[in-house]
Structure 1
């Protein structure tokens, strides 16, 4: 893989551009060792790595760089290397577009090993906001912390928001909710807007390798993740196709993998793709179909399991869902689903019938399995490999 040839908006040798509000006030939970270690690593200016074991310097590293782990949803986790500047550039965009600053309070729901939490922590520090560390707490305690501390900005995954919605506590001080790491869907957007009536709810699309690609306040076409994020250029290959590979070019891209690799990640003339397919409308709105390596063909129809997963997740009580292909002697390939719970007042047969009404019967999952111990990655996303093994064992 060839590194992109592109100018950086800021000098990567100047990690001091990360400004912490204060050495003591951002840390609101006792024992926030990860946050202290992160602050010290940034101030030291050396290349550092964020892993499940903590934050540590990279021996022989280069100042102004950091390493983070990918989610590992569809395969082994990879170590992503990027410049501080690739994030600082987006901090400045968000500060200007969202009006972020010294009076804000960021709620952090995950540990820094989760790339979304890490991004939120460092953005808060950069704009001078306070940080409320709620990682590791149960959703009810997280909701209480967000409300009691007067949190104004929240970065969260759809799963985290579903769990907060299930608690049902109103969060009137929130003025920005930014959802990334998976599809939000209109049902969840409405739930979040109900809980945070004074907030602008922004769904953004991106990846650990690309950072922001597109974002939406929900005003665009249904199913769209909005227009390109400021500074991002999006291309679809083949050009003009109803469905094609998404390529992006921006100041926010990663430099490469320090560990591991992905055949789906490719560079070309400064553009990068992580192997996702979508459609770019004439008005610039981007719609995401899903990962190309997850697409299956059933009855001569291309199917993206992500669409069916979002259908299951739209039901109250379902927090995790994975739809996976299985070999079938008669049909070649069929889909099966694994969910963490059944919706209230519904049986497995009820949910199967509902999915067949929503999708073509041949496309809808043939079977649904329920697993309270639903397998997830360290970032809280479905672990598809372990989900496959669990389905095999159930079958």
Structure 2
């Protein structure tokens, strides 16, 4: 599979929510316009094209001719318009082989996803399943109770999901709906709070939970295990090298924050559409504008993204690290921090939260004073029920839409 195009494994089967099954043989015989989009995607790739899955759910030939078995996927788009990313089949195929070692199995593997195929996390899971001989069950578009029922009935073993998707799924689950067949949960696309992680473990009592940090441009960067310290996103994934550089691009000592640079065989090639101001290449190393630090044991800690940073009284504020801290409050299950114009200080921080109680925690101010620096405490809090959070097709919160809601609420 090294440098070749992805191909549908002879033993792999795709099961639609309605119960139809598609195999490698049947996918080639069907009209690409009538079959499942991932089947059409693989057929286009085998025919020598560089395909993509569009936002309307159809597969199509990408904007440029294929060179060396390339394809397109989309970034999450949580902070703006999704970017169309071009990468090689090899850049994902190498990690398929690594992930095969993560979870023990007694039977043929089966995967399920919850997001739209145009998003890279969902497309990645689909391709990992279908190119390695597993079953693939796309569950996007179903209600959470239907998703739970299908995972249990079909005895699905591996789930790929974002933290937001899991928060919604576990909120609908009961003790009677435990998913005992699940052996692995791969979580990417955001930070998972302790409460949700515990609920996922209760829902899937036999599963090993793997949180990974990465981006559409980088694929896997780090992966966690039971020894990962609180607040860390884990150690480098296999064959990934990480360095932290200051603004002059000099390496910083362990424990000091700086820009995260990555070198690995899983990196993307280029943007086919859209640009990102903070994405840079240097001698084979890539930075996407993330700020963080490494401890002496190689554990990575994230501070935030340059693209989301804003200034309050000339001090940089990174919403990401405030959101992580807020989600440690026992009643808060989701948090988003954004800026609101302030004539005196340039901006003020607004914290949007979703709580288990669906009410504003009475101790929120005291709790923040004990867990956040003075300049990081949001001046305003808004409580938005989890069902009202606008989500993207990637399963992430739509920050642009939420920011608009905040301006209407204040």
State the TM-score, normalizing by the size of structure 2.
0.85
2:244 matched to 1:233?
A: no
Within 5 Å, which residues of 2 pair with 1:302-321? Answer: 302-314=316-328, 320-321=334-335
| Contact 1:185 1:310 (C-alpha < 8 Å) held by counterparts | yes
2:407 matched to 1:392?
A: yes
* CA distance 1:278–1:360, shift in 2 (3 Å): closer
Tell me how far apart the structure 2 counterparts of residues 218 and 246 of structure 1 sit (CA, whole Å).
24
Quote the residue 2:270 is aligned against.
256
Within 5 Å, which residues of 2 pair with 1:1-395? Answer: 10-11=2-3, 14-17=4-7, 19=9, 21-22=11-12, 25-30=13-18, 33-53=36-56, 54-58=58-62, 61-62=65-66, 64-99=69-104, 103-168=108-173, 169-238=177-246, 239-241=251-253, 242-298=256-312, 302-314=316-328, 320-339=334-353, 341-344=354-357, 346-347=359-360, 350-371=363-384, 373-395=388-410
* CA distance 1:102–1:112, shift in 2 (3 Å): farther
* Range with greater deviation from structure 2 (307-316 or 325-334): 307-316
CA shift for structure 1 position 360: 3.6
Tell me how far apart the structure 1 counterparts of residues 131 and 41 of structure 2 sit (CA, whole Å).
13
Tell me how far apart the structure 1 counterparts of residues 159 and 186 of structure 2 sit (CA, whole Å).
6
Structure 1, unaligned runs of 5 or more: 1-8
Quote the residue 1:5 is aligned against.
none
* Range with greater deviation from structure 2 (318-327 or 238-247): 318-327
Quote the residue 1:6 is aligned against.
none
Deviations along 1:40-68, one digit per CA (max 9) or x if unpaired, are 23433421012202211236511511111
State the TM-score, normalizing by the size of structure 1.
0.88
| Contact 1:235 1:248 (C-alpha < 8 Å) held by counterparts | yes
| Contact 2:76 2:396 (C-alpha < 8 Å) held by counterparts | yes
* CA distance 1:60–1:206, shift in 2 (3 Å): closer
- Is the partner of 2:243 in helix, strand or coil? strand
| Contact 2:6 2:131 (C-alpha < 8 Å) held by counterparts | no
* Range with greater deviation from structure 2 (135-144 or 250-259): 135-144
Quote the residue 2:27 is aligned against.
none
Tell me how far apart the structure 2 counterparts of residues 283 and 92 of structure 1 sit (CA, whole Å).
26
Tell me how far apart the structure 1 counterparts of residues 367 and 359 of structure 2 sit (CA, whole Å).
10
Structure 2, unaligned runs of 5 or more: 21-34
Backbone CA RMSD of aligned residues: 2.5
* Range with greater deviation from structure 2 (214-223 or 39-48): 39-48
Tell me how far apart the structure 1 counterparts of residues 136 and 391 of structure 2 sit (CA, whole Å).
26
* CA distance 1:49–1:101, shift in 2 (3 Å): farther
| Contact 1:34 1:111 (C-alpha < 8 Å) held by counterparts | no
Q: How many residues align?
A: 382
